[in-house]
Amino acid sequence: MVRRLTAIMFTDMVGYTALMQENELRAKSHRDRQRAVLEPLVESRGGDVLQFYGDGTLSAFPSAVEAVRAAVDVQRELASDPPVPMRIGIHLGDVVHDEHGVFGDGVNVAARVQALATPGSVLVTAKIADELKNHPDLPLASVGEAHFKNVLEPMGVYAVDVPGLDVPSRSVLADVRPKSRRSVAVLPFANMSSDPENEFFADGITEEIINALTRVEGLQVTARTSSFAFKGTHRDVRGIADQLGVNTVLEGSVRRAGNRVRITAQLIDARDGYHLFSEVYDRSLEDIFATQDEISIQIVRELRRHLTPDEGRSAGDLGGAEAVPPVPVAEHGRLVPSHTHDPEAYTEYLKGRFHWNRWTPEDAYLAISHFERSAEMDPTCALAFSGLANVYTFMASIGQMPADDAYPRAAAFARHALELEPEAGEGHLSLGAVQFFYDWDFEGAERNLAEAVRRIPGSAEARHIYSLYLKAVGRYEESVEQMRLAVRLDPLSLPMNYALAVACLAAGDLDAAATQARRALELDPGFRPAVELTGFLHVHRGDAAAALEAWRRLPELTGDPFVGAALIGFALGRLGRRDEAEAMLRLLDERAAAHPELNLRMDYAMLHWGLGDLDETFRQLEAAVDERMGVVVFLATSPNWAPIRSDPRFRALVDRVGIPVARQVAAT
Number of H helices, E strands in the chain: 29, 14
pLDDT of residue 203: 80
CATH (residue range 2-176): 3.30.70.1230
Which phi and psi angles does 575 have, rounded to 5°?
Answer: -85, 0
CB crowding 41-77: b at 16 or more within 10 Å, else e:
bbeebebebbeeeebbbbbbbebbbbbbbbbbbbbbb
Q: What residues contact residue 601 under an 8 Å CB cut-off, 6+ apart?
A: 620, 621, 623, 624, 627, 629
Whole-angstrom Cα distance, residue 505 to residue 512?
8
Query: What angle, 0 to 180 degrees and rounded to 10, lies between the N-to-C axes of helices 528-540 and 494-506?
Result: 20
SS (H, E, C) 202-271: HHHHHHHHHHHHCCCCCCEECCHHHHHHHCCCCCCHHHHHHHHCEEEEEEEEEEEECCEEEEEEEEEECC
Q: For residue 142, give the 3-state DSSP assignment.
A: strand
Low-confidence residues of the chain: pLDDT under 70: 1, 15-23, 54, 98-101, 147-154, 169-181, 194, 196-197, 215, 285-296, 298-341, 357-359, 399, 660-668
Tell me the pTM: 0.65
CATH architecture of 180-336: 3-Layer(aba) Sandwich (3.40)
Q: What does the DSSP 8-state code read for residue 161?
A: -
Let me know: does 117 contact 17? Beta carbons within 8 Å: no
User: Which among 464, 535, 457 is positioned nearest to 493, based on CA atoms?
Assistant: 464
Whole-angstrom Cα distance, residue 319 to residue 485?
11
Q: What residues contact residue 387 under an 8 Å CB cut-off, 6+ apart?
A: 349, 352, 353, 356, 367, 371, 374
pLDDT of residue 325: 41
Domain boundaries, the chain: 2-176, 180-336, 535-668
Let me know: does 77 contact 111? Beta carbons within 8 Å: no
Whole-angstrom Cα distance, residue 387 to residue 650?
36
Let me know: does 601 contact 635? Beta carbons within 8 Å: no
Other Cβ atoms less than 10 A from the Cβ of 269: the count is 18
Alpha-carbon torsion angle 584, 589, 590, 594, nearest 10: 140
| Amino acid identity, position 494 | L
Whole-angstrom Cα distance, residue 349 to residue 379?
12
Q: For residue 56, give the 3-state DSSP assignment.
A: strand
Other Cβ atoms less than 10 A from the Cβ of 614: the count is 15
User: Which among 552, 548, 608, 604 is positioned nearest to 572, based on CA atoms?
Assistant: 548
Which phi and psi angles does 236 have, rounded to 5°?
Answer: -65, 135
Whole-angstrom Cα distance, residue 373 to residue 567?
41
Calculate ∠ Cα 509-513-515, nearest 5°. Answer: 120
Bridge partners of 246, per DSSP, are: 180
Q: Are strands 220-221 and 190-191 parallel, antiparallel or unpaired?
A: unpaired
Range 372-379 contact pairs with CB under 8 angstroms and sequence separation of 24 or more: 373/348, 374/345, 374/346, 374/348, 374/349, 375/345, 377/342, 377/344, 377/345, 377/348, 378/340, 378/341, 378/342, 378/345
Q: For residue 399, give the 3-state DSSP assignment.
A: coil
Let me know: does 220 contact 458? Beta carbons within 8 Å: yes
Let me know: does 581 contact 607? Beta carbons within 8 Å: yes
Convert the pLDDT of each residue in 141-169 to its tens digit: 888 777 665 555 567 889 999 988 988 86
